[in-house]
Amino acid sequence: MNAPTNNTRRAGGRAARHALRSAPLAQDIRPVRPGMVGGTYRPLSDADVARIHEAALRALEEIGFADAPETGVAYMVAAGAVLGPDNRLRFPRALVEDMLAKSCHDLTLHGRDPRHDMDVTGARVYYGTAGAAVHVVDVEGRTYRESTVQDLFDAARIADQLDNIHFLQRPMVCRDIPDNFEMDLNTLYACCRGTTKHVGTSFTDPDYVKGCIDLLHTIAGGETAWRARPFVSNSNCFVVPPMKFATESCRVMEECIKAGMPVLLLSAGQAGATAPAPIAGAIVQAVAECLAGIVYVNAISPGYPTIFGTWPFVSDLRTGAMSGGSGEQALLTAGCAQMHRFYGIPGGAAAGIADAKLPDMQAGWEQGISNVMAGLAGLNLVYEAAGMHASLLGFCMESLILGDDLLGQAQRCVRGIEVNDDTTSLDVMRATCLGGPGHYLGTDQTLSMMQTEYIYPALGDRTSPKEWVEKGKPDLLRNATARKEKILAEPAAAAFAPDLDAEIRARFPIRLAP
């Protein structure tokens, strides 16, 4: 009996396959998509996790925190914290456990466009930017220059067009705006005018929060609309490691909570400098600091939308310099992700930082290793995932664009391998081997899996050396620059309506050119 042949038809050869790869895919059949579930990588055993948790609780009970503002002391003491004669706040474990039970476990971070909403629960993974770099990398001149509000707007516009960048936390500081209030305000404006994805930002002074919230009310269409769908979160460095509250940032946090803005509780100690040198010790301190933040926030507003932001960094202990692109950084971030999952709290941490000054091979391995490990560990929000160089000092637009390809591959690793009757492929093997052509190039399964099982780089080159020469030896960085220029030559897709923009400019000191 002849073997069935319906699975071995050719469909136009290479041109047909290329057309299939190039066609836009519906969201539900894309090989990768926002919020895929990670968590298969576990650098810590269950016993390790329990030991870190116990050490963090002891640190909170025995060491405590200095420098809380008076308002914060009042909130936390009323909840059960103890202010000692040394003016350090200490946290009984029963209080910490009670606040963990009250804390936000199901969080949606909204985009200005609802299609960019992020369900930040479980081990769902999203990749985005963060900062704040003070320089822009010029890849053509191989130089660094100070970043401007126009650069920030351009980065937001580029991120808005990249499928694998799921949110935009302010990646650069507007160094051309010396007034801090105007800088905070224009940072918000540039980010929100550049993208409809969720935005993260920070504020330099608690007195500036109200004016910035007024701007967000205007963009949203009123306070009620803003509170229903807050599309900006506050990145808040509420602690100064080791184990001290950052007084002004804590007051900013209190103002943001009043305004209904989600808060990222960010602890950014540096292992060997402001955090213990052992990787486990750096995780313990970061967890303890963020647990103190959980107590603080939930003492003000139980269940408030909060991100557990353990962001410990690594030092090169030979020099003391930060080494964000190291394997140790990747392990730190993955270990923190595991602790977030242990607590069942939405979490964020840093990955994708390059110590390399340019988007070169060093940057590739630094960004690739940490982004993949963060995703596999199930980190909810992977900050710094693309564009960041020189250990957070420089941001590169071309690297942001190349990072979109890199993050596509990282997400494919996060997705993992589906094993079922269809994917084990016995019927296709039988048809191909028993009377078929002896290869799988033209089977229906291969053609369908080209779209759903495999992801293809937009700029990465997979041609043969012969084809590469025939195409004029295309250069990756030049192609990234060309795509950058193409995106920036088009009108901003996220731009405000003209009447809304006119209203904003009439009410607020906007420095970005129309």
- Verify that 239 and 340 share a domain, yes or no: yes
Tokens coding 248? 């002004």
Task: Find the domain containing 69 and state its range.
Answer: 53-93
pLDDT of res. 14: 57
- Verify that 70 and 113 share a domain, yes or no: no
CB neighbourhood size of 59 (10 A): 22
In a domain, 45, yes or no: no
pLDDT of res. 15: 58
Domain ends where: 69, 93, 117? 93
- Verify that 76 and 184 share a domain, yes or no: no
Q: What is the pLDDT of residues 336-365, one digit of tens each?
A: 999 999 999 999 999 999 999 999 999 999
Tokens coding 492? 């901003």
pLDDT of res. 16: 55
What is the residue whose two structure tokens read 């803003």? Answer: 226
- Verify that 232 and 256 share a domain, yes or no: yes
In a domain, 12, yes or no: no
Let me know the angle formed at the C-alpha of 220 by 215 and 224, rounded to the nearest 5 degrees.
Answer: 105
Domains of the chain: total: 2
In a domain, 200, yes or no: yes
pLDDT of res. 9: 41
pLDDT of res. 21: 54
Query: How buried is residue 335: exposed, middle or buried, by Cβ count under 10 Å (0-12/13-18/19+)?
Result: buried
Map residue 475 onto helix, strand or coil.
coil
In a domain, 20, yes or no: no
- Verify that 106 and 87 share a domain, yes or no: no
Domain ends where: 397, 415, 433? 415
pLDDT of res. 316: 87
What is the residue whose two structure tokens read 């602790």? Answer: 339
pLDDT of res. 10: 42
In a domain, 29, yes or no: no
- Verify that 69 and 201 share a domain, yes or no: no
- Verify that 64 and 167 share a domain, yes or no: no
Mean pLDDT by 10 residues, the chain (514 residues): 40 53 68 95 98 98 97 98 97 98 97 98 97 95 98 98 98 98 98 98 98 98 98 98 97 98 97 96 98 98 98 90 93 98 98 97 97 98 98 97 98 96 94 93 88 92 95 95 97 96 98 95
pLDDT of res. 24: 62
Map residue 382 onto helix, strand or coil.
strand
Distance CA 262, CA 118 (A): 13
Map residue 430 onto helix, strand or coil.
helix
Angle subtended by helix axes 498-507 and 209-220, to nearest 10: 160
- Verify that 193 and 333 share a domain, yes or no: yes
- Verify that 114 and 147 share a domain, yes or no: yes
- Verify that 411 and 307 share a domain, yes or no: yes
pTM of the complete model beyond 0.75: yes
Tokens coding 367? 């960004």
**Among residues 109, 111, 131, which one has the least CA distance to residue 384?**
131
- Verify that 71 and 105 share a domain, yes or no: no
In a domain, 157, yes or no: yes
CATH number for the domain including 136?
3.20.20.480
- Verify that 233 and 322 share a domain, yes or no: yes
Map residue 64 onto helix, strand or coil.
coil
pLDDT of res. 3: 40
In a domain, 506, yes or no: no
In a domain, 443, yes or no: no
Domain ends where: 32, 64, 93? 93
**Among residues 137, 147, 209, which one has the least CA distance to residue 174?**
147
